Chain A
Amino acid sequence: MTTISKVRYSRRSILKSGAAAVGAATLPAPMVWGQETKNITLRQFGTGVSNLNDVAQKVKEDLGFTLEMTALDSDSVTQRAATQPDSFDIADIEYWICKKVWPTGNLQAMDTSRILNYDKIVGIFRTGKLNPTSSIAQGTAPHTVGFVEGPGSTTFVDEESGWMTLIPTIYNADTLGIRPDLIDRPISNWSELLNPEFAGKASILDISSIGIMDMAMVCESMGEITYADKGNMTREEIDKTIGIFTEAKRNGQFRAFWKTFDESVNLMASGEVVIQSMWSPAITAVKSRGIPCLYQPLEEGYRSWGGGIGLSKNLSGMELDAAYDYINWYLAGWVGGYLMRQGYYSAVPETSKAFMTQNEWGYWFEGKEATDVITSPTGDTLAQAGEVRDGGSFEERMGAVACWNAVMDENQYMVRKWNEFVAA
C-alpha cells in the first residue's frame, strides 16, 4: 500500500540535515546564530483565525526571522498537512486535524523541556481538565492527541509524556449566533436551529467535521438521539443525524450553508439568516457593522475547538531552533493578548494579561462589565462600557464545553453521508 504522503522527494530535507550536521559540529549553542536568523524564513500555514499578518510583523521585529503566512480553509489545511509536507515548516492546525494528520508522520513532536511556559499552559491541553474537578468533554479533546510516546512516534498517549504534538495557541467555545433584533424571544437550546419558526432563515456550516458536531448538539437537544460520544458516532447515529437534517433541508429550513468566515458574516449581517452556527469573531465582525448579533450561550453547552502549532518533520538545526524560539515567543503573551482581545483564549492566559488593560482582561477573561469602550486590536469598537461578554467568564464558558471538534472512526462514512446531505 503506497500512500500519497510517501511519494515525494526529499532533496530539501537532505540539504537541511546536511547543513544541520555541519552546524552542530561547529556551533552547538542555538543562540549563537544571531546574525544568521535574519536569513531564516519559516513558512506557516493554517486557518485564517490565527494566521495574522500582524503576528508575522511582530515576529520580524522581536525575533528577527521571517514568517510567511498562508491562510486556508480547514479542508485545505488538512489536505496540505497530509499530502505536502515539504510545503511548510510550521502547521497551524486544529486538534482534530492533528488526529488525522499525525499518523502520516509529517510532523515532529516537540520536547516540552524546551517550552519555557509549559507548566503554565491551561489544564485542558495537558490533563484534559480545566480544574482538577471538571469532567472531560466528548469528542477529540486536545489532551488525547496532545502527546506522543517520544520523538518520531506516531502513537498518541494519554499522559504528559514530555513530547507534545501541538503547542496550543488559540481555542474557544462555539455556539449559535442569533440576530436578537429579528428574533424577539429568548433562545436557550440548540434545537432552535431546526425550529420551523426560522424556516428559510437558518444556516449551518458546510465543513463536515464541524457541521456534524453542531448537528449532533441539535439532535440531542431535540431529544431525538442520545449519543454515547458525539465525537465518535456509530453509522446508525450518523444516518439518523444526517437524516433529520436532510428532512429539514428539504422542508426549506436553511437559507444557505456557509463555508468561509466571510460568508457567515454576510449571511448574518444582511439578514438572510437570523440563527446559524457561527464563530466568535464573525459575531464581532457583524457587530462592528452596527448590527446587533448575539453569541447565544445555550443550556446544552458549547462545542469547543482548539488549534495549535506543529512542526514539520523536515525542520532541523537552525530552523528548528528558530521554530522553538517562535513557540516560546508565542506563549510569552503578546500574541495571546492580541487573540484574547478578539474574543479567543490563549494557551497561557496569565502571560497575556500583561498585554491587556485591566478593563480588557475583566471583559474578555473574567466576564466582568466593561468599564470603558472595548476595541479590537485593529481599532474597531466591539463593546461599550457596561456591556458583558456573551457567556461570561473563561471558567463559565470553557467549563461548559459539551464536546470538542472531532474526527471519528467512521469519518469516511460520515463524509460521504455529508456529501449526500449537501447534494440532497
Chain B
Amino acid sequence: MTDQTLASPDTATALSTPPAKAGQSRHLTGWLLATPLVLILAAFLVLPILMIGVVSFWGTTEFSIYPAFQLDNYAFLFGSDVTYRVFFNTVKYAVITWIFTLLIGFTVAYFLAFHVRSLNWQIALFLLCTIPFWTSNIIRMISWIPFLGRNGLANSTLMSWGVIDAPLEWLLFSDFSVILAFVHLYTLFMVVPIFNTMMRIDRSLLEAAADAGATGWQTLWHVIVPLTKPGIMIGSIFVITLVMGDFITVRFMSGSQSANVGRLISNDIALLQYPSASATAVILLITVLMVIGILLRFVDILKEL
C-alpha cells in the first residue's frame, strides 16, 4: 500500500512531466515567433507614443524644448474655449462623414454583393470602385477646388441652367466642401469591409427569410444588417480614425477657415511648440480610443471574424 501510495505520485509526475515540457517548449516557440513583431511594435509604436506622452509635460522656449514635469500645456489646452470648439468640430466632421460613408458604402456593397450575380462582374465592378485610388489622396482632394469655386464648374453649370442667379459661396471653403472631400476620400474604406462580410453571408439564409414571408426590407434589416455588423464596425473604425486624425483635408477644403484637432497639432508643430502639440495629440488619442472602445461594445469583432 505504502509502496503504491508512494509510487502513484511518482507515476503521476512521470506521466505529467512530458506534456508539461512539450507545453513549455510550445510556449517558448510561441514567444519566439511573436518576438520580432513585439519588438517592432514596441520600437515603432509603443515607444513613440510613450515619448509623445512624456514630451507633453515638457516646457518650451522660443526654439527649444526642455525636459520638465509641468502641466502648463494641458492647462492651456483645457483653459481655452477654442479647444472645446475644435474638438466639437472634429467630432462633428467624423459623425457626419461616418453617416454619409456608411449609407453610400453600404448601398454600394449591397449592390455588388446581392444584385450583381456573376463573380466576374463583382470583381470587375469592385476594381472599378478602386480606380480613383490609383491617384494620390491630395490630388483627388484638391481637384475639388476648381470644381467648386466661385467661378468653378459647379457654379457656372448651375447658373447656365438657371437654377441659381449668383454663385453659391458655400460650395467651397466651407464645412460642406470639407465633408464632401472626406466622403469622397473615405467611402471606399467603408465599401471594402462591408462587401467582404456580405460576401460571406450564407445565401440560404436569404432564401429562408423569403420562404418565411419576409419582405425585402425585413430581410435587409433583420438578416443582412446584423450579419454585416462586423464589416460595418471595421469600416466605421477606419473612417472615424481617418477623419479624426486628418489635418490636410480640413486645411485645403476649408481654406484654413475651419479647424480640427489635427490642424491644431500641425500648427503647433510648424511653430516648434512640440510639447503643446504632444499634449493635444495625447488628448486626441484618448478621445479616439474612447470612441473605438464604444464601437467595440456593440460588436465583438474577434468573435465575428
| Sample of 12 more A-B contacts, CB < 8 Å, known A200-B169, A257-B256 | A2-B67, A82-B63, A83-B272, A203-B255, A257-B257, A270-B149, A272-B149, A412-B62, A419-B264, A422-B259, A423-B82, A423-B259
Closest 7 CB pairs of A and B: A256-B255, A3-B64, A257-B256, A423-B259, A82-B63, A75-B270, A420-B82
Point out the residues of chain B lying under 8 angstroms from A258, CB to CB.
255-256
Known contacts A3-B66, A4-B65, A82-B63; is-contact A76 B257 (Cβ 8 Å): no
Known contacts A83-B63, A258-B256; is-contact A423 B263 (Cβ 8 Å): yes
Point out the residues of chain A lying under 8 angstroms from B263, CB to CB.
422-423
Point out the residues of chain A lying under 8 angstroms from B169, CB to CB.
200
Contact between A272 and B172, CB atoms less than 8 A apart: yes
Contact between A78 and B63, CB atoms less than 8 A apart: yes
Point out the residues of chain B lying under 8 angstroms from A249, CB to CB.
257
Known contacts A76-B270, A104-B63; is-contact A272 B173 (Cβ 8 Å): yes
A385 to B38, CA, bound (A): 71
Nearest Cβ on chain A to B149's Cβ, whole angstroms: 5
In chain A, what residue has the closest Cβ to B258? A423
Nearest Cβ on chain B to A261's Cβ, whole angstroms: 15
In chain B, what residue has the closest Cβ to A246? B82
Contact between A255 and B255, CB atoms less than 8 A apart: yes
Known contacts A206-B256, A256-B173; is-contact A419 B63 (Cβ 8 Å): no
10 contacts between A and B (CB under 8 A): A1-B66, A79-B63, A79-B272, A82-B64, A249-B257, A255-B255, A259-B251, A272-B149, A416-B276, A420-B80
Contact between B268 and A270, CB atoms less than 8 A apart: no
- Mask, B49-81, CB within 8 Å of A = 1, is 000000000001111111100000000100010
A267 to B271, CA, bound (A): 24
A256 to B255, CA, bound (A): 4
Asked whether any CB of chain A lies closer than 8 Å to the CB of B222, the reply is: no
Point out the residues of chain A lying under 8 angstroms from B267, CB to CB.
419, 422-423
Asked whether any CB of chain A lies closer than 8 Å to the CB of B92, the reply is: no
Nearest Cβ on chain A to B53's Cβ, whole angstroms: 18
Contact between A78 and B272, CB atoms less than 8 A apart: yes
In chain A, what residue has the closest Cβ to B270? A75
A1 to B86, CA, bound (A): 33
Point out the residues of chain B lying under 8 angstroms from A422, CB to CB.
256, 259, 263, 267
Asked whether any CB of chain B lies closer than 8 Å to the CB of A15, the reply is: no
- Mask, A102-142, CB within 8 Å of B = 1, is 00100000000000000000000000000000000000000
In chain A, what residue has the closest Cβ to B264? A423
Contact between B63 and A423, CB atoms less than 8 A apart: no
Asked whether any CB of chain A lies closer than 8 Å to the CB of B273, the reply is: yes
Contact between B67 and A259, CB atoms less than 8 A apart: no
Point out the residues of chain B lying under 8 angstroms from A200, CB to CB.
169
A110 to B259, CA, bound (A): 43
Which chain A residues numbered 222 to 265 have a C-beta less than 8 Å away from chain B? 249, 254-259
- Mask, B76-100, CB within 8 Å of A = 1, is 1000101001100000000000000
Contact between A75 and B271, CB atoms less than 8 A apart: yes
Asked whether any CB of chain B lies closer than 8 Å to the CB of A411, the reply is: yes
Asked whether any CB of chain A lies closer than 8 Å to the CB of B151, the reply is: yes
Asked whether any CB of chain B lies closer than 8 Å to the CB of A415, the reply is: yes
Which chain B residues numbered 137 to 161 have a C-beta less than 8 Å away from chain A? 145-146, 149-152
In chain A, what residue has the closest Cβ to B81? A420
Point out the residues of chain A lying under 8 angstroms from B146, CB to CB.
270
In chain A, what residue has the closest Cβ to B63? A82
From A5, A206, A419, residue with most partner B Cβ within 10 Å = A419
A211 to B67, CA, bound (A): 31
In chain B, what residue has the closest Cβ to A200? B169
Asked whether any CB of chain B lies closer than 8 Å to the CB of A100, the reply is: yes
- Determine which of A5, A255, A257, A266 lies in contact with B63 in the assembled complex, contact meaning CB atoms within 8 Å: A5
- Determine which of B150, B173, B255, B276 lies in contact with A271 in the assembled complex, contact meaning CB atoms within 8 Å: B150
Contact between A272 and B150, CB atoms less than 8 A apart: yes
In chain A, what residue has the closest Cβ to B145? A266
Which chain B residues numbered 254 to 305 have a C-beta less than 8 Å away from chain A? 254-257, 259, 263-264, 267-268, 270-273, 276
Asked whether any CB of chain B lies closer than 8 Å to the CB of A101, the reply is: yes
Nearest Cβ on chain B to A174's Cβ, whole angstroms: 19
- Mask, B154-176, CB within 8 Å of A = 1, is 00000000000000010011000
Point out the residues of chain A lying under 8 angstroms from B151, CB to CB.
270-271
Asked whether any CB of chain B lies closer than 8 Å to the CB of A424, the reply is: yes
A55 to B73, CA, bound (A): 44
Point out the residues of chain B lying under 8 angstroms from A5, CB to CB.
63-64
In chain B, what residue has the closest Cβ to A421? B82
Point out the residues of chain A lying under 8 angstroms from B63, CB to CB.
3-5, 78-79, 82-83, 100-101, 104
A75 to B267, CA, bound (A): 10
Asked whether any CB of chain B lies closer than 8 Å to the CB of A312, the reply is: no
Nearest Cβ on chain A to B153's Cβ, whole angstroms: 12
From B60, B251, B256, residue with most partner A Cβ within 10 Å = B256
Known contacts A75-B270, A420-B82; is-contact A254 B62 (Cβ 8 Å): no
From A78, A267, A420, residue with most partner B Cβ within 10 Å = A420
Nearest Cβ on chain B to A47's Cβ, whole angstroms: 14
From A79, A83, A411, A416, residue with most partner B Cβ within 10 Å = A416
Asked whether any CB of chain B lies closer than 8 Å to the CB of A405, the reply is: no
A258 to B173, CA, bound (A): 12
Point out the residues of chain B lying under 8 angstroms from A75, CB to CB.
270-271
Nearest Cβ on chain B to A198's Cβ, whole angstroms: 13
In chain A, what residue has the closest Cβ to B89? A423
In chain A, what residue has the closest Cβ to B172? A272
Point out the residues of chain A lying under 8 angstroms from B80, CB to CB.
420
Asked whether any CB of chain B lies closer than 8 Å to the CB of A169, the reply is: no
Nearest Cβ on chain A to B251's Cβ, whole angstroms: 8
Which chain A residues numbered 293 to 334 have a C-beta less than 8 Å away from chain B? none
Asked whether any CB of chain B lies closer than 8 Å to the CB of A277, the reply is: no
Which chain A residues numbered 402 to 424 have a C-beta less than 8 Å away from chain B? 411-412, 415-416, 419-420, 422-424
- Determine which of B62, B76, B172 lies in contact with A411 in the assembled complex, contact meaning CB atoms within 8 Å: B62
